[in-house]
Amino acid sequence: MDGSGVSSEHIPAHSPLRLARRSDLQMGGKMAKVLILYYSSYGHTETMANAIAEGARSAGAAVDVKRVPETAPIEVAKAARFKLDQSAPIAVIDDLADYDAIIVGAPTRFGRMCSQMASFLDQAGGLWMRGALNGKIGGAFTCTATQHGGQEVTLFSIIINLLHFGMTVVGLPYSHQGQMTLDEIVGGSPYGATTIAGSSGERQPSELDLAGAKHQGELIGQTAKKLCA
């Protein structure tokens, strides 16, 4: 929402008002570059990543969506029916230095980020040593099987890494009021966007979950643009 009192998520993508806002954001500085970096076994976190990317683009940012490498043996991944045909390219650790904002998404594994994402971020020692990520904007999002399956501690397991890298973290404030509803099962936390997959992955991100993801992406895109101005 801006000074007009109208939330951007309710404005059609090609409307004059949204295009004017995008032009305003791009004036006076370079276009902010945002990386959505994620891991997804079954596609739920992938869907959230694409929603966050949509929100960041609506703020006028240049956005790339990339995923971290799969570390499970291919025969294990296939037997578990992992979604292996995701369209996002595979990231390498040095990619992170090229962006003004990095939004990291990973499903929970026993209350912490999954090993695939942890293994990738563990390679960032060189970036950390030379301060390559200092001052960049960061954010986190996650997916759990159940409502009480560790969403907030998983977000913090990601955020702690971002803080060690010297990044400024933007969460999902209550300007996304959908996370406050009691009318349905819903993800969302002031620490980042979340969704709930169900014990066998049967639940896909809801409209409210996706709205939260888009809102967080838009806020991070806006914040990164301010730093680039």
Q: What is the pLDDT of residue 96?
A: 98
Q: What is the pLDDT of residue 12?
A: 54
Tokens of 143: 């997916």
Least confident segment among 4-13, 52-61, 75-84, 119-128: 4-13
pTM score, whole prediction? 0.87
Instruction: Match 């990619």 to its residue by tokens.
Output: 95
Pick among 3.40.50.360, 3.50.50.60, 2.60.120.40, 3.30.479.30: CATH of 30-228: 3.40.50.360
CB 118 within 8 A of CB 71: no
* pLDDT band with cut points at 50, 70 and 90 for residue 15: very low
What are the angstrom distances between the C-alpha of 167 and each of 140, 153, 154, 216?
A: 12, 19, 18, 16
62/229 Cα distance (integer angstroms)? 14
pLDDT (tens digit per residue) in 16-32: 444 444 444 444 568 99
Q: What is the pLDDT of residue 229?
A: 80
- Those residues whose C-beta lies under 8 Å from the C-beta of residue 199, and which sit 6 or more positions away, are 145, 146
For residue 2, pLDDT over 50 is answered with no
- Those residues whose C-beta lies under 8 Å from the C-beta of residue 149, and which sit 6 or more positions away, are 108, 196
CB 52 within 8 A of CB 214: yes
Averaged confidence pLDDT in the chain: 90
